């Protein structure tokens, strides 16, 4: 009966895909399909999600992918409730209630229903916080949490950086006596940090090994210097630097400095200089990494980059709308790629709302307005609880602080290396409802039950 209930909830969480008539797609979906079926390393992407698409779909149906994504997300949420919620009388109702009231109307269901690795970002962050802060877990629950964390860790470049920065800062704070005493009072031991550090190493080695088997290179990520240079183009810093330096230097981009354009055009437009020079080759990555180092070694350019990144980070932190309308203009191209890999799905794709452009702006606006109100109400509840509890240091505030820091770090990495896009933050913003849900379902019912008894 329990597994039947999880199956029903998994289907409910995929409602945006059913509403569309086919799993939602993004332009990058095409690149992941090509990488998965052709067994090549994608342009600036990790390979595991490409393999996930191919093998979970059984090369037959992409519906299987969104069902599995939904099940994994539900499993992670269930582990969260079991790890932190002590109200045993209500525990069996927590997951269904959360799915109906919170998950379906927010961006969570949207990302679950989309053929992109974005759904694994909240799984990575939530499983990380569970392993870090959970007071107790059974061996089975811990094994499931570790498996989810390692799976999510290798699905995207940013996941590795997020986890690495988190662990480094935790180690630094643990070495400071004042913070170490607080961590120990919350049962955050050194062994947990060692364990998480070990899992990060395992994830890096696993990803590097997969890339070696697929592409012949033993490395976890690629293209960092290229993405950073593209961001410098967005800021106009790269163009300014080349304009000043080119008369007296032999930089390989001097002749094309006026045609660099925006970062996304530099990266993905096949007519731009980057692809004319060979694209995502090891040599190009080294050249652009060195050029970025040369640019940011100058204090004036570094100051400009830091200032613009700070502003972009704040914009990204509060930019978390979600909508399938953003990618409608790519739908026919995506449909052609899907039909190559899944010929039996062509009718479903061509009859989907995303392909036909049948989504109306007000449909997306209504959902986003509801999500905004839900997140504001969640922050209000968290603030009320803090006022009532006098901000007493406990595991709840460690989780909430870790969650907020994860959102900030995600916004910072996105703004610093890619750009300000709602999709980057919408994959995590819905998680602000979790501590509010903790307050409502943990503390208030506990007090009500004790009064009733």
pLDDT digits (tens, 9 = 90+) for 297-340: 999 999 999 999 999 999 999 999 887 666 555 667 788 888 88
Residues 22, 81: one domain? Answer: yes
Domain boundary among 314, 341, 360: 314
Q: Does residue 155 sit within a domain?
A: no
Residues 257, 340: one domain? Answer: no
Residues 39, 79: one domain? Answer: yes
Residues 88, 23: one domain? Answer: yes
Residues 365, 275: one domain? Answer: no
Q: Looking at residue 114, what DSSP letter applies?
A: B
Q: Does residue 200 sit within a domain?
A: no
Q: Does residue 59 sit within a domain?
A: yes
Are 318 and 407 within 8 A, CB to CB?
A: no
Domain boundary among 270, 287, 314: 314
Q: Does residue 284 sit within a domain?
A: yes
Decide if pLDDT at 223 tops 90: no
Residues 298, 326: one domain? Answer: no
Q: How many domains does the chain have?
A: 2
Residues 339, 439: one domain? Answer: yes
Q: Does residue 191 sit within a domain?
A: no
Bridge-partner residues for 24, per DSSP?
114
Q: Tally Cβ neighbours within 10 Å of residue 26.
A: 18
Q: Which of 62-76, 182-196, 232-246 has the highest mean predicted lDDT (pLDDT)?
A: 62-76
In whole angstroms, what separates CA 1 from the centre of its chain?
32
Kindly state the average pLDDT of the residues 17-46: 88
- Cα Rg of the chain (Å, integer): 23
Residues 304, 379: one domain? Answer: no
Confidence of residue 184 (pLDDT cuts 50, 70, 90): low
Q: Does residue 13 sit within a domain?
A: yes
Dihedral sign from CA coordinates of 377, 378, 384, 388: positive
Q: Which tokens belong to 67?
A: 């069902």
Q: Which of 63-72, 244-253, 284-293 has the highest mean predicted lDDT (pLDDT)?
A: 63-72
> Which domain covers residue 337, as residue numbers?
2-122+320-452
Q: Is 21 left (phi over 0), alpha (psi -120 to 50) or beta?
A: left
Q: The whole model's pTM is what? A: 0.92
How confident is the model at residue 72, as a pLDDT?
Answer: 96
Condensed to tens digits (0 to 9), the pLDDT of residues 241-257 reads 888 888 766 667 777 77
Residues 298, 342: one domain? Answer: no
Residues 364, 385: one domain? Answer: yes
Q: Tally Cβ neighbours within 10 Å of residue 391.
A: 10
Q: Which tokens belong to 3?
A: 């597994």
How confident is the model at residue 100, as a pLDDT?
Answer: 86
Confidence of residue 406 (pLDDT cuts 50, 70, 90): very high
Domain boundary among 314, 331, 359: 314
Kindly state the average pLDDT of the residues 171-185: 77
Residues 329, 448: one domain? Answer: yes
Q: Does residue 428 sit within a domain?
A: yes
Kindly state the average pLDDT of the residues 386-400: 84
Residues 359, 272: one domain? Answer: no
Question: What phi, psi does 324 have (nearest 5°)?
Answer: -75, -5
Q: Does residue 196 sit within a domain?
A: no
């Amino acid at each position: 009966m329990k597994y039947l209930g999880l199956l029903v909830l998994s289907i409910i969480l995929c409602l945006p895909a059913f509403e569309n008539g086919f799993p939602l797609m993004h332009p990058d979906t095409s690149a992941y399909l090509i990488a998965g079926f052709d067994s090549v390393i994608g342009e600036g992407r990790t390979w595991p999600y490409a393999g996930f698409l191919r093998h979970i779909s059984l090369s037959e149906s992409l519906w299987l992918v969104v069902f599995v994504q939904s099940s994994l997300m539900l499993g992670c949420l269930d582990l969260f409730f079991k790890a932190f919620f002590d109200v045993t009388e209500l525990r069996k109702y927590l997951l269904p209630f959360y799915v109906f009231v919170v998950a379906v109307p927010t961006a969570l269901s949207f990302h679950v229903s989309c053929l992109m690795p974005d759904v694994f970002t909240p799984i990575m962050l939530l499983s990380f916080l569970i392993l870090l802060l959970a007071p107790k877990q059974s061996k089975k629950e811990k094994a499931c949490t570790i498996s989810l964390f390692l799976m999510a860790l290798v699905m995207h470049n940013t996941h590795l950086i997020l986890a690495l920065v988190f662990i480094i800062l935790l180690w630094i704070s643990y070495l400071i006596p004042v913070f170490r005493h607080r961590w120990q009072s919350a049962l955050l031991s050194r062994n947990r940090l060692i364990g998480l550090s070990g899992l990060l190493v395992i994830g890096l080695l696993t990803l590097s090994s997969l890339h070696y088997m697929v592409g012949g290179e033993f490395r976890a990520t690629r293209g960092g210097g290229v993405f950073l240079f593209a961001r410098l183009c967005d800021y106009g810093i790269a163009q300014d630097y080349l304009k000043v330096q080119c008369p007296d230097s032999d930089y390989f981009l001097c002749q094309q400095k006026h045609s660099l354009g925006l970062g996304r055009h530099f990266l993905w437009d096949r007519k731009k200089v980057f692809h004319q020079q060979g694209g995502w080759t090891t040599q190009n990555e080294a050249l652009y990494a060195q050029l970025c180092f040369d640019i940011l070694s100058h204090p004036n350019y570094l100051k400009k980059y830091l200032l613009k990144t700070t502003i972009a980070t704040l914009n990204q932190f509060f930019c978390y709308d979600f909508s399938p309308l953003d990618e409608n203009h790519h739908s026919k191209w995506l449909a052609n790629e899907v039909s190559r890999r899944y010929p039996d799905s062509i009718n479903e794709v061509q009859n989907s709302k995303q392909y036909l452009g049948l989504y109306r702006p007000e449909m997306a606006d209504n959902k986003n307005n509801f999500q905004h109100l839900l997140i504001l109400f969640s922050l209000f509840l968290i603030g009320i609880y803090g006022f009532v509890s006098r901000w007493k240091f406990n595991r709840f505030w460690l989780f909430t602080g870790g969650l907020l820091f994860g959102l900030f770090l995600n916004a910072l990495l996105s703004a610093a290396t890619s750009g300000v896009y709602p999709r980057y933050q919408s994959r995590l913003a819905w998680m602000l409802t979790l501590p509010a849900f903790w307050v409502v379902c943990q503390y208030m019912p506990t007090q009500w039950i004790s009064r009733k008894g």
